[in-house]
Structure 1
Amino acid sequence: MFTLLTPSALLALLGLLVPLAIHLWNRRPGRTVQVGSVRWLAASANRRLRSLKLEQLLLLLLRAAIVTVLAVALAGPAWQRPAPPARGQVLVSPELLTSATLPSVRPLVDSLRRRGYEVSRLEKRFPLISAEEWTAIVANPTASDSAGYTTEPDFLWARAAQAAQRFADRPVHLLTPAKLADLQGTRSNLPPNLTWQLIPSPDSGAWVQAAGLSGADKLRLLVGRSDEEKTTFQPITVARPDVAGAVSVPGLPPLRYETSATKQAVVRRADDSMAVPVQAAMRLRVYYTADQAEDARYLAAALRAAGSGLLVPPVITVSASEPSPSDSLTWVFWLSKAPISTAWKRRLDKGLSWWQQASGPGTAVTSSFGPAGAEVLIPVLRRDTAAILPPSTAVWTDGSGQAVMSRRTEGRGQVYTLHTRLNPAWSGLPDSPELPALLLELLQPSAPTLDLARNDQRVIAPSQVQAAIQRSSDSSENAPRKAVRPAPDTFTDLRAWAVLAAALLFGLERLLARRRPISSPVSPA
Structure 2
Amino acid sequence: MFQLINPIWLYAIGGISIPLIIHLWNIKKGKTLKIGSISLLGESSRQSARSLKLIDLLLLFLRCLLLIILALIFAGPIWNSKINTAVNKGWLLIEKENLTETYTKFKSEIDSLNSLGYEFHYFEPGFELAKLRGALKEMTTEKGSEVLLPYWSLIKLLDDKIPQNTKAVIFTPNRLNRLGAERPVISKQLSWKTYTPSDSTATWIENAWFSESDSVKVTIASSSPVGTTYKTVTIDPADKNSSFAIDIQNGNASLKFKDICQGDSLPVIIDTATIRIAIYTDKFKSDAGYLKAAIGAIQKYTERKIKLSEFSTMNIPSGQNIIFWLSESAIPSGIIPLNSLFVYEKGKLEQVSSRLKLSPAISNTEKGDIDLYKRISYSEPGGRGFPVWEDGYGQPILDLQMKNKLSVFHFYSRFNPDWNELVWSDDFPKALISIIIPEQNVSEMHPSDKRIANQTQIKPVFINDNAQPSDKNPESQKSLKDQFWLALVVIFLLERYLTFRNNLI
**Cα distance in 1, alignment partners of residues 91 and 403 from structure 2:** 56
Does residue 457 (structure 1) correspond to residue 456 (structure 2)? The answer is no
Assess if the C-alpha contact under 8 Å between 1:241 and 1:257 holds in 2: no
**Cα distance in 2, alignment partners of residues 426 and 474 from structure 1:** 50
Residue 370 of structure 1, aligned match among 346, 349, 356: 356
For the aligned residue pairs, the C-alpha RMSD in angstroms reads: 5.8
**Cα distance in 1, alignment partners of residues 88 and 221 from structure 2:** 47
- The alpha-carbon distance between structure 1 residues 210 and 117, as it changes in their structure 2 partners (threshold 3 A), is same
| Equivalent position of 2:130 in the other structure | 129
- The alpha-carbon distance between structure 1 residues 166 and 306, as it changes in their structure 2 partners (threshold 3 A), is farther
Assess if the C-alpha contact under 8 Å between 2:370 and 2:420 holds in 1: no
- Secondary structure of 1:240 counterpart: coil
Assess if the C-alpha contact under 8 Å between 1:231 and 1:458 holds in 2: yes
TM-score of the aligned structures, taking structure 1 as reference length: 0.50
**Cα distance in 2, alignment partners of residues 88 and 140 from structure 1:** 27
1:279-298 matches, within 5 Å, as 279-280=271-272, 282-283=274-275, 292-298=284-290
- The alpha-carbon distance between structure 1 residues 333 and 123, as it changes in their structure 2 partners (threshold 3 A), is closer
TM-score of the aligned structures, taking structure 2 as reference length: 0.52
Instruction: Please state how far the C-alpha of 1:220 moved relative to its aligned partner.
Output: 1.8
Unpaired segments ≥5 residues, structure 2: 1-83, 360-367, 474-505
Residue 291 of structure 2, aligned match among 299, 303, 320: 299
Does residue 445 (structure 1) correspond to residue 438 (structure 2)? The answer is yes
- The alpha-carbon distance between structure 1 residues 212 and 117, as it changes in their structure 2 partners (threshold 3 A), is same
**Cα distance in 1, alignment partners of residues 85 and 411 from structure 2:** 71
| Equivalent position of 1:93 in the other structure | 95
**Cα distance in 1, alignment partners of residues 213 and 140 from structure 2:** 49
Deviations 1:275-309 (A, max 9, x none): 4332236545566779654323322233344557x
Instruction: Please state how far the C-alpha of 1:444 moved relative to its aligned partner.
Output: 2.8
- Secondary structure of 2:434 counterpart: helix
1:27-46 matches, within 5 Å, as none
Assess if the C-alpha contact under 8 Å between 1:288 and 1:320 holds in 2: yes
| Equivalent position of 1:257 in the other structure | 246
- The alpha-carbon distance between structure 1 residues 87 and 214, as it changes in their structure 2 partners (threshold 3 A), is same
Structure number with larger C-alpha Rg: 1
1:412-423 matches, within 5 Å, as 421-423=414-416
| Equivalent position of 1:9 in the other structure | none
Q: Which deviates further from its counterpart, 408-417 or 129-138?
A: 408-417
Choose between structure 1 and 2 for higher RCO, CA contacts under 8 A separated by at least 6 residues.
Answer: 1
1:108-147 matches, within 5 Å, as 108=108, 113=114, 117-123=118-124, 126-130=127-131, 133-135=134-136, 137-142=138-143, 144-145=144-145, 147=147
**Cα distance in 2, alignment partners of residues 339 and 161 from structure 1:** 49
1:369-518 matches, within 5 Å, as 370-371=356-357, 374-376=368-370, 378-380=372-374, 421-425=414-418, 428-431=421-424, 435-445=428-438, 452-461=445-454
1:41-52 matches, within 5 Å, as none
Percent identical: 19
Q: Which deviates further from its counterpart, 263-272 or 118-127?
A: 263-272
- The alpha-carbon distance between structure 1 residues 164 and 314, as it changes in their structure 2 partners (threshold 3 A), is farther
Instruction: Please state how far the C-alpha of 1:141 moved relative to its aligned partner.
Output: 0.7
Residue 228 of structure 2, aligned match among 231, 234, 237: 231
**Cα distance in 2, alignment partners of residues 400 and 83 from structure 1:** 49
Unpaired segments ≥5 residues, structure 1: 1-81, 250-254, 476-480, 486-525
Instruction: Please state how far the C-alpha of 1:206 moved relative to its aligned partner.
Output: 1.7
Deviations 1:171-207 (A, max 9, x none): x653211223445776999999957353524341222
- The alpha-carbon distance between structure 1 residues 179 and 406, as it changes in their structure 2 partners (threshold 3 A), is closer
Assess if the C-alpha contact under 8 Å between 2:152 and 2:184 holds in 1: no
Instruction: Please state how far the C-alpha of 1:219 moved relative to its aligned partner.
Output: 1.7
Does residue 274 (structure 1) correspond to residue 266 (structure 2)? The answer is yes
Assess if the C-alpha contact under 8 Å between 1:294 and 1:423 holds in 2: yes
- The alpha-carbon distance between structure 1 residues 380 and 449, as it changes in their structure 2 partners (threshold 3 A), is closer
Aligned residues: 368
**Cα distance in 1, alignment partners of residues 289 and 457 from structure 2:** 51
- Secondary structure of 2:130 counterpart: coil
**Cα distance in 2, alignment partners of residues 405 and 299 from structure 1:** 15
AA aligned opposite 1:294: S
- Secondary structure of 1:301 counterpart: helix
Instruction: Please state how far the C-alpha of 1:150 moved relative to its aligned partner.
Output: 1.8
AA aligned opposite 2:231: Q
**Cα distance in 2, alignment partners of residues 88 and 382 from structure 1:** 57
1:140-289 matches, within 5 Å, as 140-142=141-143, 144-145=144-145, 147=147, 149-151=148-150, 153=152, 166-168=165-167, 173-182=169-178, 194=191, 196=193, 198=195, 200-240=197-237, 248-249=242-243, 256-261=245-250, 263-267=251-255, 274-280=266-272, 282-283=274-275
- Secondary structure of 2:247 counterpart: strand
Assess if the C-alpha contact under 8 Å between 1:287 and 1:322 holds in 2: no
- Secondary structure of 2:288 counterpart: helix
**Cα distance in 1, alignment partners of residues 443 and 282 from structure 2:** 45
Deviations 1:358-380 (A, max 9, x none): 89xx9754356734665345232
Assess if the C-alpha contact under 8 Å between 1:210 and 1:278 holds in 2: yes
| Equivalent position of 2:18 in the other structure | none
**Cα distance in 1, alignment partners of residues 131 and 449 from structure 2:** 32
**Cα distance in 1, alignment partners of residues 166 and 385 from structure 2:** 48
Instruction: Please state how far the C-alpha of 1:443 moved relative to its aligned partner.
Output: 1.3
- Secondary structure of 2:139 counterpart: helix
**Cα distance in 1, alignment partners of residues 136 and 152 from structure 2:** 31
AA aligned opposite 1:122: F
Instruction: Please state how far the C-alpha of 1:92 moved relative to its aligned partner.
Output: 0.9
- The alpha-carbon distance between structure 1 residues 161 and 295, as it changes in their structure 2 partners (threshold 3 A), is same
- The alpha-carbon distance between structure 1 residues 234 and 376, as it changes in their structure 2 partners (threshold 3 A), is closer
AA aligned opposite 1:298: Y
Instruction: Please state how far the C-alpha of 1:458 moved relative to its aligned partner.
Output: 2.4
Instruction: Please state how far the C-alpha of 1:239 moved relative to its aligned partner.
Output: 2.0
Deviations 1:386-409 (A, max 9, x none): xx9xxx968767799998668788
- The alpha-carbon distance between structure 1 residues 455 and 173, as it changes in their structure 2 partners (threshold 3 A), is same
Instruction: Please state how far the C-alpha of 1:134 moved relative to its aligned partner.
Output: 0.5
